[in-house]
Amino acid sequence: MRTTPILPEFGLATLWLLLSGFGLSPSLIPADQILSGGPPKDAIPALTNPNMETADAADLWLEKHDLILGIVIQGKTRAYPVRIMNWHEIVNDHIKGKSFVISYCPLCGSGMAFDTDDHFGVSGMLYQSDVLLYDKKSESLWSQLMMQAVAGSRTGEKLQLLPIEHSTWQTWKTRHPNTDVLSRHTGFRRDYSRNPYAGYESVSGTYFPVYHHDERLPSKTWVIGLSMGNRHLAWKLDDLKKSGSHLLTWHQHRLAISVHGEGIQIRDVESNKILPVTRLYWFAWVAFHPDTELVK
């Protein structure tokens, strides 16, 4: 479980990073804004090629309203329960020879999938309250929400975002009854029935500082964020659920928005491609995209 920040001062924060084995040069972000989340490197253990189980087996322990991160690759579906992701944050996985990483930051509520052959671990460090991953080859630090390496020898390299659906187990299973599901048998002793962040969603503040605030919405409002080029757009999740499936024109892009319970899917009408969107707290989206347009 995350705790309050430690070693927040510039000199101590830099020393902590160096002792953890992470280089700071070059860097895209200020060193004094990289904070320890409490647990050290790999204390939150990433999963690699984890066990999967059937939807029927998952029904024995998942509740219908439990949140999952769902992905579809080459017609194969897979669900990653948030109650497991809370304890591991990163899953290095593959489907039909295609490697990818599932990343979840409990502090931002952000679940994202990246198309990559790299294996990642949990650094124990945060930037703007968001998890910093590290790759096992170079031990460079990568920002989840910036989708790129921000410190170390690979600074500036970017990750390719894959579409995932942040939905409820019931909704995902109804649409994908043959889905595989990340198993509780991870090889680690964790109580997956317990939420280590219980109560965090209901308080307005954050455990760690962010460096841009926007009062257009309360900070813990759930939003759906979309980036296209250098433009960023966000919707309140509740507004999308109320409006249902519809078409929207945004900067000459025709978008088809499909609503499946808690799950939101956005397709570019012209290319007919599903666009990667991120469900997360408003404070996190706007901290990284301060110029975002908010659809009301």
Look up the pTM and report it: 0.92
Together in a domain, 139 and 231: no
Is position 89 within any domain? yes
For 258, the domain range is 222-295
Top pLDDT among 32 and 65 is at 65
The pLDDT of 271-280, averaged and rounded, is 97
Together in a domain, 136 and 243: no
Average pLDDT, the chain: 92
Together in a domain, 48 and 107: yes
Together in a domain, 118 and 251: no
Is position 1 within any domain? no
Together in a domain, 139 and 268: no
Whether the predicted pLDDT of 189 surpasses 90: yes
Together in a domain, 167 and 54: yes
Whether the predicted pLDDT of 192 surpasses 90: yes
Is position 195 within any domain? no
- Count: domains in the chain: 2
Together in a domain, 128 and 43: yes
CA 150 to chain centre: 17
Domain finish residue from 182, 210, 230: 182
Together in a domain, 252 and 156: no
The region of weakest confidence among 23-32, 58-67, 216-225 is: 23-32
The 10s digit of each residue's pLDDT in 10-33 is 445 555 555 567 877 789 999 889
